[in-house]
Copies of this chain bind each other. A is one copy, B any other.
C-alpha cells in the first residue's frame, strides 16, 4: 500500500530506505493472527513471502474481505488512522515472512515525505487506487451475478483462485461454498465444447 510505489516515484526512494531498519522481520506458520478483531492496529504490515487475508466474524460465520500476497502492504486503515478497535482480523493463509513497521515510524515517514515535490501526486495515487479498488468491489455486487464475479476473479486475479482455499473465496464472493462449487462445475461444462 505504501512501499510498492518505490519504482513509480524514484525521487522518494531514499525515504523508504531510511525506515527499513525500524521494521521487524517475522517468520510465521499458516493461520497466524497478525491483527485481532477488536484490537487497535499498531503496525503497517508488509508481505515478503506468503499470503494473508482480512476477515471478520459475523454471528459465528467467518467472512473474508480481502487477500494480500507478496510485496503488498496492508493495515486496518480505520483502526490505524483513528486508533479505534479494528473491525477485521488479519491472518496468514500460508507460512509467511512479513515485516512490521510500527505506526510511529509510518507517521514520521509521512511527515518527512510531505514536503517533497512528488508527494501530492504519490499520496493521491495511493489513496485513489485503494478507493477505486473498494468501489469496484462494491460495484461488482450491484452489477454482476456471483458467476460473473467468479469469472472476473479468475481472469483478473487468477493467483487468488490458485492459492486460496475455496471456502475463503466463496465468502469473499458473497456466496455459499456449495454455490461456488456449482458455479465452477457449470463453467467447467461450458468449457468442454472443444
Residues of chain A having any CB pair with chain B under 8 Å: 56, 58, 63, 65, 77-78, 81-82, 107, 110-111, 114-115, 119-120, 123-125, 127-128, 130-132, 134-135, 137-139, 141-143, 171-172, 174
Contacts and interface: CB of A to CB of B under 8 A. Distances in A.
A77 B139 contact: no
Given A58-B143, A65-B139, A134-B135, A81 B120 contact: no
Q: Chain A: interface secondary structure?
A: helix
A44 to B, nearest CB: 13
A120 B115 contact: no
Contacts of A120: 107, 110-111, 114
A125 B83 CA distance: 12
B130 A131 contact: yes
A143 B77 contact: no
A72 B139 CA distance: 21
Contact of A142 (B123, B127, B135, B172): B172
